[in-house]
């Protein structure tokens, strides 16, 4: 987990331009210009009348230096700026930069929640050359948490399986997904999640792509698969409704920044080329 440039114990002496991912809770401080979200470029947040609770050195990228910062819950956005939730930034930044924002909020949240050792309660110290925290009392080391999850496009002939999440406030349909359980392979998780959520068996599981997803700390591993047997029978706990859809009657689907949409677009491209 070593960075291209070493963490510098919050030193702000780097001569490259300094940019700040400043979070109030899960909301990021941005300035909206021409339908683009920009993050502050200042040497220190006090220039914006903001006092960070904690600061994390993210190192260099794009020939700039970046920090994340945890702000107080009552922090006030400077004039001309505002706090936006990450989902509100989907259309305001490009995909690569959105993933970097996701990295920033995960590092910030990890630092916030690992001030003390989960084994003995001792105060933790940052490791000098990597994102890790060590307990000087018992020696336990913690790294930022990642939660692997699978997400899969299941096809049946020229149809794609899409479902609406029972717990989501968003009205769109998407492909199925779920978290990997201990002792389970990714392929086993794909099979189990599909069976649990809609009651069908699948076959020909193939890797598609992966994507970090900061809601809150997932690594989404995408797959394609084919229908094998069974009828759709939604669990009503995770899934409100599910059905097979063709390219001629696609429902509302997730935004293009997500791997879910990339899987759906893959299906549409495949079917369009077969017409």
Q: What's the rounded mean pLDDT across residues 86-97?
A: 93
Return the pLDDT at 15.
61
**Has residue 155 got a pLDDT over 70?**
yes
270 belongs to an annotated ligand binding site? no
117 belongs to an annotated ligand binding site? yes
54 belongs to an annotated ligand binding site? no
212 belongs to an annotated ligand binding site? yes
**Long-range contacts of the stretch 83-91 (C-beta < 8 A, 24+):** 83/24, 83/27, 83/28, 83/29, 83/30, 84/27, 84/28, 84/30, 84/37, 85/26, 85/27, 85/28, 86/26, 86/28, 86/214, 86/215, 89/28, 89/30, 89/37, 90/255, 90/257, 91/35, 91/255
Q: If you classify domain 147-274 with CATH, what class do you get?
A: alpha beta
Return the pLDDT at 169.
75
143 belongs to an annotated ligand binding site? yes
What is the per-residue pLDDT across 14-51, written as a single tens digit (0 to 9) for each? 467 899 999 999 999 999 999 999 999 999 999 999 99
216 belongs to an annotated ligand binding site? yes
248 belongs to an annotated ligand binding site? no
Mean pLDDT score across all residues of the chain: 92
Q: Which DSSP category does 78 fall into? A: P
What is the per-residue pLDDT across 117-132, written as a single tens digit (0 to 9) for each? 999 999 999 999 899 9
120 belongs to an annotated ligand binding site? yes
260 belongs to an annotated ligand binding site? yes
Q: What's the rounded mean pLDDT across residues 208-237?
A: 95
Return the pLDDT at 236.
83
Q: What's the rounded mean pLDDT across residues 109-114?
A: 96
**Has residue 4 got a pLDDT over 90?**
no
Is the fold of 18-113 the same as that of 147-274?
Answer: yes
272 belongs to an annotated ligand binding site? no
User: Residue 171's pLDDT band (boundaries 50, 70, 90)?
Assistant: confident
Q: What's the rounded mean pLDDT across residues 170-174?
A: 88
User: Residue 7's pLDDT band (boundaries 50, 70, 90)?
Assistant: very low
Please state, in angstroms and rounded to a whole number, the distance separating the CA atoms of residues 154 and 34: 39
Residue ranges of the domains in the chain? 18-113, 115-144, 147-274
Return the pLDDT at 3.
39
Return the pLDDT at 211.
96
214 belongs to an annotated ligand binding site? yes
Helix (H), strand (E) at residue 194: helix 186-198
211 belongs to an annotated ligand binding site? yes
**Has residue 12 got a pLDDT over 70?**
no
Residue with tokens 């050359």: 129
**Has residue 1 got a pLDDT over 70?**
no
226 belongs to an annotated ligand binding site? no
CATH number for the domain running over 18-113: 3.90.79.10
């Amino acid at each position: 987990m070593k960075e291209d440039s070493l963490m510098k114990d919050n030193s702000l002496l780097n001569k490259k331009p300094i940019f700040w991912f400043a979070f109030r809770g899960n909301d990021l401080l941005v300035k909206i210009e021409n339908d683009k979200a920009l993050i502050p470029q200042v040497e220190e947040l006090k220039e914006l009348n903001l006092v960070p609770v904690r600061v994390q050195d993210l190192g260099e990228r794009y020939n700039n230096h970046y920090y994340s910062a945890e702000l107080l819950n009552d922090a006030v956005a400077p004039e001309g700026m505002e706090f936006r939730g990450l989902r509100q930034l989907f259309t305001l930044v490009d995909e690569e930069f959105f993933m970097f924002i996701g990295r920033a909020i995960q590092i910030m949240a990890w630092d916030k929640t690992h001030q003390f050792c989960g084994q003995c309660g001792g105060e933790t110290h940052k490791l000098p050359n990597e994102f890790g925290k060590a307990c000087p009392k018992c020696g336990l080391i913690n790294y930022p948490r990642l939660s692997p999850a699978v997400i899969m496009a299941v096809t049946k002939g020229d149809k794609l399986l899409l479902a609406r999440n029972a717990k989501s406030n968003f009205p769109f349909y998407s492909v199925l997904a779920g978290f990997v359980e201990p002792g389970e392979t990714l392929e086993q998780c794909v099979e189990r999640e599909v069976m649990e959520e809609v009651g069908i068996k699948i076959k020909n599981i193939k890797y598609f792509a992966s994507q970090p997803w900061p809601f809150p700390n997932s690594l989404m591993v995408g797959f394609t698969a084919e229908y094998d047997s069974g009828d759709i029978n939604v669990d009503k706990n995770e899934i409100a409704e599910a059905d097979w859809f063709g390219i001629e009657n696609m429902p509302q689907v997730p935004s293009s920044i997500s791997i879910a949409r990339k899987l759906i677009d893959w299906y549409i491209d495949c079917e369009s080329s077969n017409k």
